[in-house]
Every structure is written in C-alpha cells, then in structure tokens.
Structure 1
Amino acid sequence: MAISHQKLFTAILILCNTIPVHVYSRGPVYRPPDVERLTDSFTRLSVNQSCNVFFGGANVHVASNGSNAELSLDKSSGCGLSSKNKYYYGFFNAAMKLPAGFTSGVVVAYYLSNSDAFPHNHDEIDFELLGHEKRREWVLQTNMYGNGSVSTGREEKFYLWFDPTQSYHDYSILWNNHHIVFLVDNIPVREVIHSDAISSAYPSKPMSVYATIWDGSQWATRGGKYPVDYKYAPFVASMGGIQMEGCIFNTKDMAPLCSRSSLSSLDPVDGERFAKLSSQQTRGLEWARGKHMFYSYCQDKSRYKVMPPECNGK
C-alpha cells in the first residue's frame, strides 16, 4: 500500500523526536519539537537600557557595550539586576548561560515580583535554576502565586534537554489576563490558565523584573543536602538578550502605559496570538511535561492534605 507524503513526513518527525540526541547521567535527552519563536516578535534590549543593579554591585560586570552582564556569586555576596520599570502584563525574556562544574546550592533566578511594594501579599512569577552536585545536572523550577508568599508557591520542576552551561538559552514568561506561560527556547514547559479555580492566586499587580544569582544552600539542592562549596567560586552566570514588552506602570499617575496596541488597552500581549497556545505550542508543552517534568505540586500529597482547587482533574 502506498504511503502518502504527509504520513511519511509525520512518521519521520515522530521518529526524530524519539531518538536521543544526548545522553547525560540521568538518561537520554530528546530533540524538542518545532514551535513558533515568540522571541522573534519582541525587541532585544541591552542591560544598560533595561536594568539597574539590584544588589551586590561589585559582582555585576556589564560587558559588550552594555548588551550583556556577568552575575557572580562568591563567598562575599551574590548579586542581581532589576528592571528600570514595573510592568502590568507582558512578555519578558532573558538569554542566560549558567555556571559550569560543581554548582550545588547555587540559584540563578529570572523572575517577576512586587515584594518591595507588597511585602506581605506580593505576586511572583519565577524561573529558578538550581545547581547540582553533578556536572550539567541543573534543574529548572517554575513557580507562581498572587497575593501570597513563598509558602503559597506552586512549584514544578524539570530536567533540561540541553547543557545550559555551554551556550545561551532563552527563558521567557508570557503573562496576561488569559494565562501565564513559561517557555524555554520558545518551548512552553508550563501553562497556568486564568480560571475561577486559581483567580485568587493569579498575579494581578504590577511587577518588576529581576535576574539574580545567590546562595540557596538551605533548600536548593536535594532539600539542602548539598550546600554551596565556595572552593569552586566564583560562580558566574552570563545574561543578555533581554526582552521586556508590557504595560509600564507609571507610579506618578498610577496608570499603565502600554507599549503596543492590542485588544485591551491594559495588555500588550492580549491579541489572539497570545490568548491561547497554538497547536504547535501545545505539542511542545506536552513534550516538555511528558519527557522532562519530574515534580508538580499538584501531585505532592505529602505537602497538601487537600489539593489546591486548580489541581482538580490533573
């Protein structure tokens, strides 16, 4: 029986996505599916254009005429950058290369937060990259909450399908009234749909954007079993490729100023393209979660005697 060109092409795609392209100590790593490149739709900014030093200024080294920065952790301090503006909804991205070698206890974070303005009930959307006691075994943790604190977090953890210490990779957050999407190299790894079940914990207040490196010895690597070993310091994370396109919140007028037209004057990423995942993005999401996610708070019965309402049916 003859096989159509379309069926043959589909079979080849499936085969390519199931053949391991690398083998790390934890097992095979598979080739990701093709998806739309959201990062191509937004302007790249320099560090100098978009950020100020947040803390540990002596460990922040801006290079390449302000387009890149090296963030270092040593025994004296970690360090971080924060956005010059606060944003209400938008698309946020940083291209990062992580420290190599023995990195247990080291945390590299790219996140949105308003804890400075709301210390007791702040919003947060996080990428946290957790170092490991074995080479290349960085873990990606995502988290988000609104009107809460760290204790009300909703974490999920993933292994990466590449070595994040060898080159730059994009870590992106899309946040609007419809959903929050975490993307790695444009592959969605997590989607939080804005539903009635999660509405009270959905981030809803303007936030700043942060990039930091710090000592998470008490919890970061296997629950704090492996603290930072400073004989391997300094630990250096490189960052560039910054993208921040959202509604800039004007603290003087207490009103947002949006950077592009959209269906909603309060949301520059509210158009149809950003309201829901495409079929390609959905396949990417299923691939990432099926092959690389190893922890979800919705499956943690030891932590939750009663699961959060949005976990029903998961």
Structure 2
Amino acid sequence: MMKLFLFLLYFVSLILPFVCVLVSVAFYTLVERKVLGYIMIRKGPNKVGYSGIMQPFSDAGKLFSKEYVMPGFANVVPFVLCPAVILFTSMMLWFLYPYSYVSMVFTCGIVQFLVTSGIHVYGVMVAGWSSNSKYSLLGAVRGVAQSISYEVPMTFVVLMVAFCIGSLWLQEVKMGQENMFSILTMSLLSSGVWVTCMLAETNRAPFDFVEGESELVSGFNVEYSSGGFAMIFMAEYGAMLFNSIFFITIFLGGNELLMSVSTMVWVLFFVWIRGTVPRIRYDQLMGLCWKVLLSVVLSMTGFVAIISFFF
C-alpha cells in the first residue's frame, strides 16, 4: 500500500507541472485576446463567466468535442501523430525550468534547450507534408527555412551568455547574475538579437509566415481540426511562455520574485508586438537573419573571445 501511495505521489508530482502549464496557456490566450481587443479599441471575450474568465475552457471544450475531420488524401499515421508530437516537444522544454531547489537538473541545460527547440521544426515539417495540401506544405517549408535560419544567431547568443557565466547549467546562469551583474545590462545588443530570434522561432508577428492567413489560408495546420488543432495551438503558446522564462533566466537572473514579474512583462511583450507590428516580407525575414543578425552575433562573439583572451 505504501509503495502504491509513493508511486501515486511521484506520478502527481510529475504530471502537475504540465497541468499548470496548460492552465497557464489557457489564461494566456484570454489575456492576449483582451489586450488585442483594447489595442484595437474593442471589447475582448466578456460573455462566458465573469468578464469572460471562463472563455478559454469553453473554447477548449468546443474544440475537443468537434468531429475530427481526416482529409481524403492525407498520410494518416503521421497526420494523426504530429499534433501530439508537437505538444510533447513543447512540454519537454519545461523540464529545463530553473528551479532553485530540485533534485533533478540538466547539467547542460542550455544545450538541451537548443536541441529540444530544434526538434520542434520536425513536427511542423511532417504535419505540413502529411496533410497533402499545397498550402500546408508551403507553410511547413517556410517554417523549416525560418527555424533553421534563426537558430544560427540564437545559438551564438546563448553560447556567448554561457561563456560569460562559465556554465551550461541554467541554475548557475540564473544564480550567477543575482549578486554580480546582469547580462542584459552588459549587452543590450545581444538581448535584442535574442528577442528577434525568439519571435521568429515561435512563429509570432511580425515573423508569422508559417501561418500567413493572407497567403496560406492557415499555413501548415490548415487541414487540422478539433483536438489536433487545439494541441498545435497549446504547443505554440506553451513554447512562448517558456521562451519568456528562458530569456529572463539567461539575461536577468535573480530571485524567483524578480523572475516571475519580469516573465509576465515579457509575456505581454509578445501580445504587444502582435498588436502593433505588421508582418514583413519573406525576403526581408531572411535578409534580416543572414545579413544583419548573423553579422552582429559573429562580431560580438569575436569581441568576447578577444576580451577573454587578454583579461
């Protein structure tokens, strides 16, 4: 009986953080719709529950209760599995959360983040291909090119931060900035590069070419409905929340209270960008990555290497 109790306790402690993440995603969608509504001088959701607070749960119930439509020419097995794989990949990022007190840590958490975020593009690619639709395939191709391109400057920035701290352990990166300095104050330029790459990696405005409604109807997920669409939706917002936490961890650090407040600010930053910045052209997207951001991060990497060699 005791073994069963310990197993249930371990299972609940393992599952509970992911349940909390999904609940956070639900309320984040509500905050986004409210803020976008006020940006556009209109009301957001305000009918379901008090001031619309139950709207995300109403939407989730509606989505998961709808009929799952299977396209006639789709590749059935990868088409069905891809939403779950995309959601699972997004949830895997939360294993890297920099808890102050925890028994299980990743000693190379920064490398693990780069690996896990790089895997995400495979789910998008297979989802677009398996739908057997020209719109979804074009959205998947856009997503692959965009993610691979922006992973290059993002990797340079993250490894440069790890080099400055002297550790690949996220807990040490966070604690190293508590009493000494903040990487953000050292290099506003590198943090600006990271924010740009973060928007591109999560397919958010002004880099939302994967789901360009004006050209691709709805991008790589155009053939998905019901629970499949809901899982892709939750994975995207879960990745946005973790990327905000990761940004605060590697550039600000500090105690839990400071990180929590800063993360909420950066979460709202995603919404503000979506409501104010128009989508750029695709050639501008690629030019920004390979001509501007890559040149900047290579220059910064060389500068850091020279400084560390002499000092």
Band the TM-score falls in, shorter-chain normalisation: under 0.3
Greater share of strand:
1
Question: TM-score scaled to structure 2, two decimals?
Answer: 0.26
Q: Which is richer in helix?
A: 2
Give the TM-score taking structure 1 as reference length.
Answer: 0.26
